Amino acid sequence: MKCDRQTLPIATIHEENASLRTFTFEGKLDATPGQFIMLTVFSQGEKPFSILNADKTSFALTIKNVGPFTDRLFQMKSGDLVSVRGPYGRSFSNNLGRVLMVGGGFATPPLLFLAKRLRAAGVAYMATINGARTTSDLLYVHDFDELSDRSLIATDDGSLGHKGTSVDLMEAILSEERFDQIYISGPEKMMLAAVPVAKHHHLRFEVNLERYMKCGVGVCGSCVMDPLGLILCMEGPIIDAQTLDKLEEFGVSHRGKTGRIEPI
Ligand SMILES: Cc1cc2nc3c(=O)[nH]c(=O)nc-3n(C[C@H](O)[C@H](O)[C@H](O)COP(=O)(O)OP(=O)(O)OC[C@H]3O[C@@H](n4cnc5c(N)ncnc54)[C@H](O)[C@@H]3O)c2cc1C
Ligand code: FES
């Protein structure tokens, strides 16, 4: 079992909005877009987080304050120590043709990481859709704008960009342009709506799934998805269309904290 653990100080903390912060760390993380790490905050245990960016000298995570662990993290300052192990999981494919990214809410960090890597690798054409409930919830607007050949924004309340969802914009752009690959990362309900649209256009796609993860390395079984018994922390979190088709739990149920299967 791989366990590349590093204990290191928080280098910088950037407030994205009232409930989301980006934490950077000076350390090498040999990660690819879509992978995640297990973060330990002393006295609060360990939780999984997607990697926003990683290069030879630093890496970053964008984290939403939702409960005891993240609340403790939000009380920490630059210089305070945390511990990280990973990276874990499968990453997005590396399609350098015409790609479309569809993101929703605070699930966009792996898409920004992917956009940077694909752009650096010479992607032919990249369109991005960034959706959120309202303007203040949108992440990385300028970064996506700079990296994309075409960048679109949707907000539920219409405060910026299209009034509606990322999936509305996905339907619109697919009726205008041709793509080779779609990358989707958002709340599961949003991805559930996006998948039939991608299928309708007979396009290759990948989704970024989340399940309760305790170990991150295939030991505890908490992230298992039925009926395949797929171990999401190792065989995901990035899942392709063919595999997704066999995961009857997608959009329906997941294992909660105790391992019991619950409706989503
Ligand atoms: C692969 C993966 C990538 C993730 N990436 C990010 C990210 O980039 N940014 C971010 O803010 N959050 C991310 N999360 C979710 C993050 O792990 C939870 O928000 C965090 O664990 C909450 O802990 P808490 O104690 O603050 O809240 P709690 O009160 O414990 O939980 C609040 C919510 O977080 C979920 N959660 C709690 N523990 C876990 C766990 N061990 N695994 C999965 N979900 C959990 C709960 O189901 C609940 O819905 C990711 C989760 C997974 C599985
Ligand atoms: S989180 Fe333990 S098996 Fe996946």
Reported as a single tens digit per residue, the pLDDT across 103-130 is 999 999 999 999 999 999 999 999 999 9
Render pLDDT for 191-218 as a digit per residue (tens, 0 to 9). 999 999 999 999 999 999 999 999 999 9
* Sequence-distant (≥ 6) Cβ neighbours of residue 123 within 8 angstroms: 95, 96, 97, 99
The whole model's pTM is what?
Answer: 0.97
63 ligand 1 Cβ < 6 A: yes
Q: What is the CA(58)–ligand 1 centre distance, in A? A: 22
Closest atom of ligand 2 to 231 CA is: 4
Count, residues in the chain: 264
Last residue of a domain, one of 88, 122, 141: 88
For residue 137, CA distances in Å to 11, 51, 145, 159 come to 24, 19, 16, 11
Q: Are residues 180 and 114 in the same domain?
A: yes
pLDDT beyond 70 at 35: yes
Per-residue pLDDT averaged across 54-74, rounded?
96
Ligand nearest to the CA of 222: 2
In this structure, the answer to whether residues 77 and 131 fall within a common structural domain is no
Tell whether ligand 1 has an atom less than 6 A from the beta carbon of residue 237: yes
119 and 225 inside one domain: no
Q: Are residues 71 and 164 in the same domain?
A: no
Residue 97 pLDDT greater than 80, yes or no = yes
CATH code of 82's domain: 2.40.30.10
40 lines ligand 1 (CB under 6 A): no
Residues 168 and 221 reside in one and the same domain: no
| Residue-wise pLDDT tens digits, 137-169 | 999 999 999 999 999 999 999 999 999 999 999
Give the closest residue (by CA) to ligand 2 atom 3: 218
Rounded distance, CA 46 to CA 38, Å? 6
Interval between CA 144 and ligand 1 midpoint (Å)? 24
Q: Do 15 and 105 have their domain in common?
A: no
Query: What is the percent of the chain where pLDDT is above 70?
Result: 99
- Please give the Cα distance from 23 to 62 (Å, whole number): 6
Q: Residue 74 belongs to what domain range?
A: 5-88
Helix (H) or strand (E) holding 25: strand 20-26
Q: Is residue 68 within 6 Å of ligand 1 at its C-beta?
A: yes
Question: What's the CA-to-centroid distance between 211 and ligand 1, angstroms?
Answer: 9
Give bridge partners of residue 21 from the DSSP assignment. 15, 63
190 and 129 within one domain: yes
Query: Do residues 124 and 24 both lie within one domain?
Result: no
| Residue 175's CATH number | 3.40.50.80
Q: Which residue, of 173, 193, 208, is where some domain finishes?
A: 208
Averaged pLDDT of the chain: 96
pLDDT-based confidence at residue 2 (cuts at 50, 70, 90): low
Q: Does residue 235 sit in the same domain as residue 138?
A: no
Give the residue, out of 38, 210, 214, with the most ligand 2 atoms within 8 A of its beta carbon, to mutate for a pocket test: 214
DSSP secondary structure letter of residue 214: S
Q: Per-residue pLDDT for 223 more than 70?
A: yes
User: How many structural domains are present in the chain?
Assistant: 3
